[in-house]
Amino acid sequence: MTANKKLLVLPGDGIGPEVMREVRRVVDWMSRRRSVSFQVEEGLVGGAALDAEGTPCSDETVERAKAADAVLFGSVGGPKWDGLPFDRRPELGILRLRQELGLFANLRPATVLDPLVSASSLKPEVVRGLDLMIVRESTGGIYFGEPRGIETGADGKRRGIDTEVYTEDEIVRVARVAFELARGRSGKLTSIDKANVMQSGRLWRAVVGEVGKAEFPDVQLSNMYADNCAMQLASNPRQFDVILAGNLFGDLLSDLAAALTGSLGMLPSATLGAPDAAGRRHALYEPIHGSAPDIAGKGIANPCAQILSFAMLLRWSFGMEEDARLIEQAVEKVLAGGLRTADIMAAGTARVGTSVMGEAILRELDKLAA
């Protein structure tokens, strides 16, 4: 068995390290039971990296991420680092990795698993079976646009500036990812913008339409303003299948979509770069939940989102669909069996901590692979 699959694991801060520990057990399980082994390296990111290396993401970590086949990321940030200067925030860890690795397509599924339908704040009949995918552009827009900064004018008053800017090429490449996904699902894509207010939004709408017409005439494209999309998500989320949005709108709407499921601790994500000639692409996988500093270190965090992020990694970086499905099924079985971490508790279920949840998933994996 050769370990030709190189993973860089960056647990980060807060609950990151404790949920990542459960993924490591799944990785070990795979080498024992599925004869797939990974060469796993660990590194520091976020506050942990600030403390140890003086920067939220060192050049060395960026190089190691580039050399890996995939990066499995935990979460960054926490009150300990809240007062730091803007250019030393832990969040820069993830932003730098996205930018330096060219990870422009952030795939954020929001699914409601049947056993968790009552965890949503919405009525079961509104969210049952919800299965949508948000494709968020993640290396452009107002997150990185220039000029940006806070400047002091001649009158001694300050001005804060950010720039929302999208080039045609940036829109085309992320739109293609969204159209492809929609084609493989229900054939429906909703593209989000504020074309009624923003010039970058007008271009967004025009370019997405052109890509659709020229390359994906089989996909049914509709356009929606971002504010309306927020309202529609909260009232009738199942009308959507794939949603395409720029960086900022995608950030907001993906949190909203995640909240609809009632189980933030369940949701994984993938962020992909462009494939090279050999079809290899940089990719990073992370749970949607943040570092959850309020529960960090207590052994009660839900490891499912991190484990499901690993499943996405298997699917997207290594084409290991069967193994990815196996892990997803194991998680569903454990939930159906009535085990819950605190975040997804419901009447009639048993509350367990992080490592018991991890163990239960391993046991289901054993059964499924038997």
What are the catalytic residues? 143, 194, 227, 251, 255
Question: Residue 91 binds which entry of ligand IPM, Mg ion, none, with Cβ cut-offs from 5 to 8 Å by kind?
Answer: ligand IPM
Q: What are the C-alpha distances in Å from 30 to residues 134, 154, 320, 341?
A: 29, 63, 12, 24
Convert 200-261 into a string of H (helix), E (strand) and C (coil): HHHHHHHHHHHHHHHHCCCCEEEEEEHHHHHHHHHHCHHHCCEEEECHHHHHHHHHHHHHHH
Which is closer to ligand IPM, CB of 132 or CB of 352?
A: 132
Contact predicate 200/170, CB 8 Å: no
Q: Closest residue (Cβ) to Mg ion?
A: 251
Least distance (Å) between residue 123 CB and Mg ion: 26
Which is nearer to Mg ion, 234 or 368 (by Cβ)? 234
Q: Which is nearer to Mg ion, 68 or 270 (CB)?
A: 270
The four Cα atoms 370, 131, 19, 367 give a dihedral, to 10 degrees, of -10
Q: Is 137 in the site for Mg ion (CB under 5 A)?
A: no
Residue 94 contact partner, candidates Mg ion, ligand IPM, none, CB within 5 to 8 A by sort of partner: ligand IPM
Q: How far is the CB of 104 from ligand IPM (least distance, A)?
A: 13
With CA atoms as reference, report the closest residue to 61 among 23, 10, 11, 111: 10
- Between strands 350-351 and 339-340, the pairing is parallel
Site for ligand IPM, rule CB under 6 A? 91, 94-95, 251
234 binds, among Mg ion, ligand IPM, none (CB under 5 to 8 A by kind): none
What's the rounded Cα separation, in Å, for the pair 259 and 219? 28
DSSP structural state of residue 172:
H
Q: What are the distances in angstroms from CA 365 to CA 67, 174, 175, 353?
A: 30, 35, 36, 19
Nearest approach, Cβ of 331 to ligand IPM (angstroms)?
22
Give the footprint of Mg ion on residues 226-285 (CB under 5 A). Answer: 251
Q: Three-state SS for 192?
A: strand
Burial of 357 from C-beta contacts in 10 A (0-12 / 13-18 / 19+): buried
The amino acid occupying position 237 is: P
With contacts defined by CB under 5 A, how many residues of the chain interact with Mg ion?
1
CB 251 to ligand IPM: min, Å: 5
Question: What residue 18 binds from ligand IPM, Mg ion, none (CB within 5 to 8 A, per partner kind)?
Answer: none
Q: Which is nearer to ligand IPM, 76 or 189 (CB)?
A: 76
Question: What are the angstrom distances between the C-alpha of 70 and each of 40, 259, 270, 281?
Answer: 10, 27, 10, 9
For the CB of residue 86, give the shortest distance to ligand IPM in the complex, in Å.
Answer: 12
Given ligand IPM, Mg ion, none, residue 362, with its beta carbon under 5 to 8 Å by kind, binds none
Q: How far is the CB of 166 from ligand IPM (least distance, A)?
A: 16
The set of residues, in sequence order, having a beta carbon less than 8 Å from that of 236 and lying 6+ positions away, is 126
* CB of residue 91 to ligand IPM, shortest distance in Å: 4
Question: Contact, 77 vs 290, CB < 8 A?
Answer: yes
Asked if 242 and 178 touch (Cβ cutoff 8 Å), the reply is yes
Write the single-letter amino acid at 58. S
**Which residue, 10 or 320, is less far from ligand IPM as judged by CB?**
10
The item of Mg ion, ligand IPM, none sharing an interface with residue 162, based on CB under 5 to 8 Å by kind, is: none
* Chosen from Mg ion, ligand IPM, none, partner binding at 142 (C-beta under 5 to 8 Å by type): none
Minimum CB distance to ligand IPM smaller for 193 or for 251: 251
* Contacting residues toward Mg ion, per CB under 5 A: 251
